[in-house]
Amino acid sequence: MKALPILAGATGMVFVGGSVAVSGYLADAPNLTIQAFRYAVACALLLLWASRTRTPLRRPQGPEWLWLLGVTVAGLLVFNIALVHGARHAEPAVLGVAVACVPILLALVGRGPRRRVLPAAAVVTLGAILVEGLGRADGAGVLWAVVTFVCEALFTLLAIPVLDRHGPLGVSVHATWMAAVLFGVSGVVVEGPSAILRVHPDDVLAGAYLAMAVTAVAFLLWYTCVTRLGPGRAGLLTGVAPISAALTGMALGGPTPGPLVWLGMTTVGAGLALGLTTPVPAREPALTPA
């Protein structure tokens, strides 16, 4: 077992789960404009880190542009749109359950000891569902939940072919600058150039937090984990996100989690123990471009 990549992935998911409460402050803000700001700031932070650590950044070549654009369009742009529209037709738990199913897909697609990782992914997913609850949705809500599930998985899977050459930092930099451009253009077209005037100081602070912790830091930690453990094992750690969301909500004055939530947390822990205690090879083979 490699403790550092596991800790990296788990920490990244803690930030992602804790962002649920922060995102609530942006409910009335122009979403696309705030997202453009978020990814622009995140890219600047990642570039600063690359400069401080003297990490070379490579320009994408050939098909790499398509892989990175896929990460950005599916994993960031469409995923965000699915969350916004899905929230109008489904309770948050429905979208949370969709994301909770991602470990099973990553376990099926990723290479490595599936005999143990796949059952562990099922246990983690069950635990995450207990933490999230089921919720209600209409037909459109179910459709958006499926889109959310697919986009969340593609955020990891489409990055795998370019991680070897660009590394976690390079992939994160390219994904964030592309996202800033796409969200910026979309914001101007959909929300109008005057949307920037509807952004309040609280929105800027929330966007800055998302840029730093949930984007710059979390992306770097997550892709480091995927590089070292492979998508199958790394996917198990997404079960940490709903636990973080529940505990953060309680810390911010929300209700104490009920028995089913605590049972779900325990179940997630059991799944992680089952899937991450198997000896990890020096490096799990990455998927190669088709």
Local confidence pLDDT in tens for the 290 residues of the chain = 478 889 999 898 888 877 766 776 777 789 899 999 999 999 999 999 999 999 999 999 999 999 999 999 999 999 888 887 887 787 777 777 788 888 888 888 866 566 778 899 999 999 888 887 777 778 888 898 899 889 989 999 999 999 999 999 999 999 999 999 999 999 999 999 999 989 889 889 989 999 999 899 999 999 999 999 899 899 999 888 888 888 877 777 777 878 888 998 999 999 999 888 865 554 544 444 43
Domain boundaries of the chain, sorted by first residue: 3-23+32-276
d(CA 215, CA 11): 12
Stated pTM of the model: 0.87
Please give the helix or strand (H or E) that residue 14 lies within, else none.
helix 3-23
The full DSSP string for 143-208 is: HHHHHHHHHHHHHHHTTHHHHHHHHHHHHHHHHHHHHHHHHHHHHHHHT-GGGGGG--HHHHHHHH
